[in-house]
Amino acid sequence: MGSRIVATGRATPRTCLSNHDLARHMDTSDEWVRSRTGIVQRYVMASGESLVELAAEASRIALSRAGLKPTAIDAIVVGTISSDYGFPSFGCQLQYQLGLDTIPAFDVAAACSGFVYALSVADASMRAGDWGRVLVIGADALSTMVDWNDRSTAVLFGDGAGAAVMVNEPGDRGVLSSLLRSSGQYWELLAVRNRGVQTTIDSEARRQSADAIRMKGSELFKLAVKSMADITLQVAQRACVSLQDIQLIVPHQANLRIINAVAQRLGLPPEKVFTNVDRYGNTSAASVPIALDEALESNRIHDNDLVMLNACGGGLTWGANLLRW
């Protein structure tokens, strides 16, 4: 038995901020942000919105495309570092939003690698025969965690949620291989001391620097390129697949320069790498499922294609999943 993604969905907040919008409030420019990151706009949470509700919206879309009712789901695994409050978990709140009860619902905190981690956790439990149908979510709202006076981080992040319905089934389609890695020695390269996001969203208060994301961008850049390239190769080798046989890579959308550098290191042509960072910014754990959903919508993925998901994020965490679609 293997586990296969049968449908996906995505949801973003209502407010869209372009680089020009940001340049009106801080010392930056559309040219700087585009040339350094490839980002043109991003969606951000505003007062009255809830990230759990966005995740529920993405989940309902994915479930409806899968032809399943929420009650058909055996477990919810959420990749996130943006639970509304210190606790309980995002997973439990999403379970409540979806009108479900008693099934296991929990979070996997791996920052931008959250979805890749959550997918791997779900796949392992499904292979073990524990669950037949799982809702795997990536959701984050890092725009609520930045110090809006810190232009080096404020321009990078957007908010959103992506969902995937995974089903256990016989055959050779689905998750072929996954690898997860972490390196806590680099934790200070990207850190935030205060995680709960709802208070920030509701009050529209901007976080002060002590409470906000702190980042060492250039060190992260180098580690992200190396770790994503290495893990992609390792997962392919583990599944005895050549990189040339992979039809599409759907990477974490942190930064176009990181994505291009990874592709170059792996010798992959641009047409084999999906990007949408220009329209969403870095949505952390939501970026891979949002990108996957858009790749499917634009017919970039066909039955039996080999698809690689890869990510790197705070922790440091990194990982990849190879899927036969």
Q: How far is the CB of 118 from ligand ACO (least distance, A)?
A: 16
Torsion sign (Cα): 167, 170, 175, 178: positive
Q: Any contact of residue 313 with ligand ACO (CB under 6 A)? A: yes
**Closer to ligand ACO by Cβ: residue 36 or 60:** 36
Per-residue binding string, ligand ACO, 81-120, x by CB under 6 A, is -------------------------------x--------
Q: Is 145 left (phi over 0), alpha (psi -120 to 50) or beta?
A: alpha
Residue span binding ligand ACO (CB under 6 A) among the ranges 7-15, 70-78, 212-220, 233-241: 212-220
176: preceding bond cis by omega (within 30 degrees)? no
Residue span binding ligand ACO (CB under 6 A) among the ranges 149-157, 163-171, 238-246, 267-275: 149-157
Structure tokens at 254: 């942190």
Identified binder of ligand ACO from the candidate list 102, 185, 203, 218, rule CB under 6 A: 218
**Closer to ligand ACO by Cβ: residue 190 or 201:** 190
Report the alpha-carbon angle 68-74-77, nearest 5: 100
Identified binder of ligand ACO from the candidate list 6, 135, 220, 285, rule CB under 6 A: 220
Distance CA 147, CA 207 (A): 5
Please say whether the beta carbons of 5 and 166 come within 8 A. Answer: yes
Identified binder of ligand ACO from the candidate list 155, 175, 322, 323, rule CB under 6 A: 155
Identified binder of ligand ACO from the candidate list 11, 161, 224, 295, rule CB under 6 A: 224
Q: How far is the CB of 289 from ligand ACO (least distance, A)?
A: 15
Measured from the Cβ of residue 171, the count of other Cβ atoms closer than 10 Å reads: 9
Distance CA 163, CA 222 (A): 29
Bridge-partner residues for 198, per DSSP? none
β-pairing verdict for 214-215 and 75-79: unpaired
Q: Which residues bind ligand ACO (CB under 6 A)?
A: 28, 32-33, 36-37, 112, 151-152, 155-156, 190, 215, 217-218, 220-221, 224, 252, 254-255, 282, 312-313
